Amino acid sequence: MLKVEDIGGELFISSDHEMKKEHYISFAAYVSDSSAMVFKQYPEWNLQVTLPLYRSGKLVWYCTKHGLFYQELRRIKK
């Protein structure tokens, strides 16, 4: 699961997943019923994405070893 935090009007997405050349998350994306935004990620850098404060939709991410995953973007409790 990716970590989702409300940082005051924006969503900060991060992960503890390893980010080595041979095993990393190569992209993370926000997908809703009407749009998608893809954020390329790079090995040797922590996964970090900042999104507007969406209330619904899915987060999708792709691990170079384990494939594609997704989770619902839920309303964040402060």
Residues that bind Fe ion (CB under 5 A): 63, 65-66
Q: Least Å distance between CB 66 and Fe ion?
A: 4
Q: Which of 70, 77, 64 is nearest to 30 (CA)?
A: 70
Q: Least Å distance between CB 56 and Fe ion?
A: 26
Q: Which tokens belong to 16?
A: 């503890």
SS3 state at 27: strand
Q: Least Å distance between CB 65 and Fe ion?
A: 5
Residue 11 or 47 with smaller CB distance to Fe ion: 47
Give residue number: closest CB to Fe ion. 63
Residue 43 or 54 with smaller CB distance to Fe ion: 43
Q: Which H helix or E strand runs over 70?
A: strand 67-72
The answer to whether 39 and 31 are in contact (CB under 8 A) is no
Residue 56 or 70 with smaller CB distance to Fe ion: 70
